[in-house]
Amino acid sequence: MLAGCTKDVNLARDVDLLLESASPTPYMAQNSMTQNNQIQQQMQQAAPPIEPTSTPIPAAPIEETVASPATVSSSVSPITVDLTTSEGVIQIALSPKDAPNTVKNFLEKARSGYYQNLTFHRVENWVIQGGDPEGTGRGGGTIPTELSQTPFKEGSVGVARGGDIMVSNDSQFFICTSDCSWLTGQYTLFGEVTSGMDVAKRIKVGSTILSITEVSP
């Protein structure tokens, strides 16, 4: 019986030794993980980089909620005024279609006598400008610019402004006396000379605005 027990003990010890030899030691397991990580890193380095897409995702369209001046007042007829100056009369057809608020402001000032005895302070070979209450080019208030794609040309009547395209002067206006197409879409255009361009071209610095009156249709 003792010999049998010894035999069983020896057999159990042999089984334990066999299991130990089949199982990796902690060092071996750690070494195997290190080799796997190195292999993965090598595969990642060998793979080509993923480039970001060059096609932008289009943004959702923004619905236009404010109608253009042409849509707001497409049925409004031009309003004719006589701009009487010390050099003669310049007749202008105002365009509410392109600049309804500017035309309204201009007419209100004209009816109140605001422009009477004001001068043209700027005269160049392509433009005359007046309506400044100070006569210096620095007077007047502000009004929002009303841009349109109606082309500026000889005879176009526009509104002066400073550096901010969306803010215009509420009293100073100009008349193009030759081509001024580069102003299109950059300044408020609110009228066009229908007669008296010869008078406009005779305007000098200091020429006076005597009155601005509406002409009955």
DSSP class of residue 98 equals: T
Residue 52 lies in a domain: no
Residue 65 lies in a domain: no
User: What are residue 161's DSSP bridge partners?
Assistant: 168
CA distances from 188 to 96, 124, 202, 215 (A): 11, 19, 24, 23
What CATH number should be reported for the domain holding residue 151? 2.40.100.10
Residue 96 lies in a domain: yes
How many structural domains are present in the chain?
A: 2
Residue 130 lies in a domain: yes
Decide which of 160 and 58 is more confident: 160
Residues 181 and 93 in one domain: yes
Q: Is the pTM of this model over 0.85?
A: no
Return d(Cα 128, Cα 109) in angstroms, integer.
19
* In 23-112, alpha helices (H): 26-46, 69-72, 100-112
Return mean pLDDT, the chain. Answer: 77
3-state helix, strand, coil in the chain (%, to 5): 30, 25, 45
Return d(Cα 175, Cα 155) in angstroms, integer.
6
Residues 196 and 89 in one domain: yes
Residues 81 and 15 in one domain: no
Decide which of 57 and 191 is more confident: 191
Say whether pLDDT at 5 is over 90.
no
Structure tokens of 190? 């609110």
Decide which of 14 and 50 is more confident: 14
Residue 61 lies in a domain: no
Task: Summarize the confidence of residues 104-112 as an average pLDDT.
Answer: 98
Return d(Cα 164, Cα 167) in angstroms, integer.
6
Task: Summarize the confidence of residues 187-205 as an average pLDDT.
Answer: 98
Say whether pLDDT at 216 is over 50.
yes
Residues 80 and 39 in one domain: no
Range of lowest pLDDT (22-36, 81-95, 117-131) = 22-36
Decide which of 188 and 41 is more confident: 188
Task: Summarize the confidence of residues 105-114 as an average pLDDT.
Answer: 98
Range of lowest pLDDT (9-18, 108-117, 198-207) = 9-18
Share of the chain above pLDDT 90, in %: 63
- Print the domain residue range for 92: 74-214
Residues 177 and 139 in one domain: yes
Q: Got the DSSP string for 127-177?
A: EEEE--TTSSS----EEE-----PPP-TTEEEEEE-S-TTEEEEEEEEEES
Q: Compute φ and ψ for 204, nearest 5 degrees.
A: -120, 165
Residues 40 and 78 in one domain: no
Residues 105 and 190 in one domain: yes
Residues 94 and 165 in one domain: yes
In the block, residue with structure tokens 């993965």: 40
Torsion on CA atoms 40, 43, 49, 50, rounded to nearest 10: -70
Residue 188 and residue 168 in contact, taking contact as beta carbons nearer than 8 Å: yes
Residue 115 lies in a domain: yes
Residue 49 lies in a domain: no
User: Is residue 184 helix, strand or coil?
Assistant: coil
Residues 88 and 36 in one domain: no
Return d(Cα 26, Cα 108) in angstroms, integer.
95
Residues 98 and 180 in one domain: yes
Residue 186 lies in a domain: yes
The Cβ of residue 167 has, within 10 Å, a number of other Cβ atoms equal to: 13
Residues 28 and 104 in one domain: no
Residues 153 and 89 in one domain: yes
